[in-house]
Amino acid sequence: MFADDELYRRGTATLLASWAEYARGATGAALHRLPGIAAAVFPSGPERSVYNNALLDRGLPAGERASAIEAMEAAYVTAGVDRFAAWVHEEDPAMRRDLERHGYTVDETTCAMGVALDGLQVSRSDAALGPADWSEYLRLLDVPPGLLTGADDTAFHVLVARLDGSSVATGMAFDHDNDCGIYNVTTLPPARRRGLATALTSRLLLDARARGCRTASLQSTEMAERVYGAIGFRDLGRILEYVPPRRSASARPA
């Protein structure tokens, strides 16, 4: 049995490893692991508008919080990136207050979720599921042209669901240290409410367990929380995505 804190730790480690994998396929990108923070820096291409995110450690003392925020801002300023998101767990009020004093505001929230795979109780669906090439996966996500085309698609496990021979839904898994991150589960609007997201996620989890993974993790939108909860994922708390005040890339918050 994995405690919630352990599921959260495993999930964030997998998330950061996925960012690092994306960065290997993007020009000039890198995951900077700094004291108190990990900052994914994407200075170029379409990835610049999507993947400039930083995850702040929970429970840092005051001096280390200030240093982590300063290091985060320096990493993005150096790369010429002025728009990024600082991810903070909802149960870290001190970090939230510090960011808000610097003018940061919450732009989006997701729910961190995790599940132990040993006792997973899901079955294979009758839906038409199968592997897909990377280009089909990106098409279903409807992402900006060129996004992630440089990524090593062999590092990821992609599935699609098909209706009448057409691909209408997709999801992707990424393994790290026996945790499986589930990302970008997406269904095209005309095919929604047919259980395809549940079928895809369940199959990704079963396949992950067969590969030797012991846990799985994801970040859910509010709309999808019930879907993942029904499969067995546990609510590990909300992630608040703070963005800095709009200003020139050369300026730092006071």
pLDDT at 6: 98
Domains and CATH numbers, the chain: 4-110+238-243 (3.40.630), 116-237 (3.40.630.30)
- Separation between Cα atoms, residue 157 and residue 87, nearest integer Å: 25
Average pLDDT over residues 119-147: 88
Q: What are phi and psi of 51, to 5 degrees?
A: -105, 10
Q: 182-186, 222-226, 245-249, 250-254: which range is least confident on average?
A: 250-254
* CA distance readout (Å), 6 to 13, 179, 183, 237: 11, 11, 20, 13
Q: Name the pLDDT band for 121 (thresholds 50, 70, 90).
A: confident
- Separation between Cα atoms, residue 217 and residue 141, nearest integer Å: 20
Q: Considering only residues 45 and 21, tell me which one the structure prediction assigns the higher pLDDT.
A: 21
Taking only the tens place, the pLDDT of each residue in 95-109 is 999 999 999 999 999
pLDDT at 51: 97
Taking only the tens place, the pLDDT of each residue in 182-214 is 999 999 999 998 999 999 999 999 999 999 999
Q: Return the DSSP state at 189.
A: G
